[in-house]
Structure 1
Amino acid sequence: MTIRNSFRLAILPLIFLASCGESPKEKQKSTVKAEVKKDSVQIDSSEIEKEKEFVLTEENAIDFFFEYQKDLKVDKVKITTRFGSFTVQLFDNVPYHKANFIYLTRKGYFNDTQFHRVVKNFIIQGGNSDDRKTGKKRSEIGRYLLPPDTRKGHKHHRGVISMPSSEIDNPHMLASPYEFFIVVTKPGSYHLDGEFTPFGKVIEGMDVVDKINSVKIGEGDWPSQNIYIQKAEVIE
């Protein structure tokens, strides 16, 4: 037997074994998984830039929402709880707060947060939670505050949605963008005017807001049974 024929006989089993391995599809799947997990250098640098998650900060939030609100054609958000749904319409002349609320809704932030504070005949407050998922979502979206916008003529009438100020090192009463409260008081809670920013009003489902306001509460105005926002959705 020649050296050439010996070489052919030796390599045939290797070819057979290779053909019995992963199919092309399986190879492709494992390659994709590796790239996703490890940020493979095979991905074009321009694609990497596109896939980077944008994070809001104190430095870029105002500029971002200024641009974001320019193309907004929507102004309504529907919030669903186990008590039912209600719809809020956002004010056009409070652009940063309106844009912020639409943006967070589209990002899915409010889903699975709670109405964590209920003060009888005064307000219900939502956007927070007692689980780690909420903190994780906040860190992924970014850490920032919004300037108050209290001079647009909006008052804290019953049904108005407004934004509380942050309690952390905040002498200028900057607004906490992840939370909101809805006034339940009849006809309103006007002592809040000038301190907080009204940015919309409930136009449908105020009876649901009243049901939430009537639940049994425990320490710190936290409802005795959690009231989750099952879904918040922009009405396109």
Structure 2
Amino acid sequence: MARIKPQALLQQSKKKKGPARMSLTTIILFSLIVVLIVFFLFSTYRHWTHRSRLQSGNGLFISEGENEFGDPKKSDVPGYAVLNTSKGHIAVELYKESSPEVVDEFIDLCQKGHFNGMPFNHVIKHTLIQAGKNQEFGASEDWTSRGKHYSQLDSSLKHEAFMLGTSKGKRDNKGFELFITTAPIPNLNEKVIVFGRVIKGEDVVQEIEEVDTDENYEPKSSIGIINVSLRQKI
């Protein structure tokens, strides 16, 4: 039998033990698997992030510009609103049954962004705070005397503190102002249509009430509503 030379055996051993090259099909398949894994992880992250935001939305506040409601005809009329002010959030319950027309107008203006950036232009301690773009306020002395007279009375009167209202009379979109009382005012209906009440954020209302004002009850520093969000539940 012919002997195989050692050099030939070494070459054959190298050929057998050498690593096999990956085919182009294997590389493409591996790449697709990696892409699918990355996509799955990204989708999972987005899902849990979105769910976390929805769960946090079940609390009191909604982030700026967020609104749960599109067309009001396709959903129930919101029963609450959250005023995001430069001092904090004020949650109000809307009186849909007793003041339906005013509430509908208020909701429509909220969806149009009417109250975004609206300043608190009049603040009377122990009486009310007013947000609006109209500088006319009427007889400030009348409001002041009412506040002094009723500030010490029991809060079970017809119109207690922290009521939400707007001025009476014909209003256009620019004339819809907001009043929040800071003391009981029994004859409030003479000047204001009450269409809601503050249920959370009374401390924010009181903080706004304490700002420094000039002789015309206008705040010396800028303070106002950033935006308003509508809610069905609080």
Q: TM-score, normalised by structure 2?
A: 0.53
> Which position in structure 2 is the counterpart of 1:110?
115
> Which position in structure 1 is the counterpart of 2:83?
79
C-alpha distance in 1 between matches for 2:73 and 2:181: 25
Q: Residue 208 of structure 1: which of 200, 204, 207 is its match?
A: 204
C-alpha distance in 2 between matches for 1:70 and 1:159: 31
Q: Does 1:92 align with 2:88?
A: no
Aligned residues: 137
Q: Does 1:128 align with 2:126?
A: no
Q: Which stretches in structure 1 are left out of the alignment for 5+ residues?
A: 1-67, 131-153, 166-172
Q: How far off is 1:101 after superposition?
A: 0.9
Q: Residue 218 of structure 1: which of 211, 214, 220 is its match?
A: 214
Q: What secondary structure is seen at the aligned counterpart in 2 of 1:92? A: coil
Q: Which stretches in structure 2 are left out of the alignment for 5+ residues?
A: 1-71, 136-156
Q: Residue 196 of structure 1: which of 192, 199, 223 is its match?
A: 192
C-alpha distance in 1 between matches for 2:131 and 2:201: 16
Q: Which letter does structure 1 place at the counterpart of 2:127? A: F
Q: Deviations over 1:135-186 (max 9, x none)?
A: xxxxxxxxxxxxxxxxxxx942111101113xxxxxxx4457510101101x
Q: How far off is 1:192 after superposition?
A: 1.6
C-alpha distance in 2 between matches for 1:72 and 1:194: 31
Q: What secondary structure is seen at the aligned counterpart in 1 of 2:113? A: coil
Structure with the greater alpha carbon radius of gyration:
2
Q: How far off is 1:219 after superposition?
A: 3.4
Contact 1:88–1:201 (CA under 8 A) maintained in structure 2: yes
Task: Spell out the pairing of 1:1-236 with structure 2 (5 A cutoff).
Answer: 72-93=76-97, 94-128=99-133, 155-165=158-168, 173-174=169-170, 178-185=176-183, 188-236=184-232
C-alpha distance in 2 between matches for 1:183 and 1:121: 8
Q: How far off is 1:71 after superposition?
A: 5.9
Q: TM-score, normalised by structure 1?
A: 0.53
Taking a change above 3 Å as real, the CA distance of residues 92 and 217 of structure 1, as seen in their structure-2 partners, is same
What RMSD in Å do the two structures reach over aligned CA positions? 2.4
Identity among equivalent positions (%) equals 28
Q: What secondary structure is seen at the aligned counterpart in 2 of 1:190? A: coil
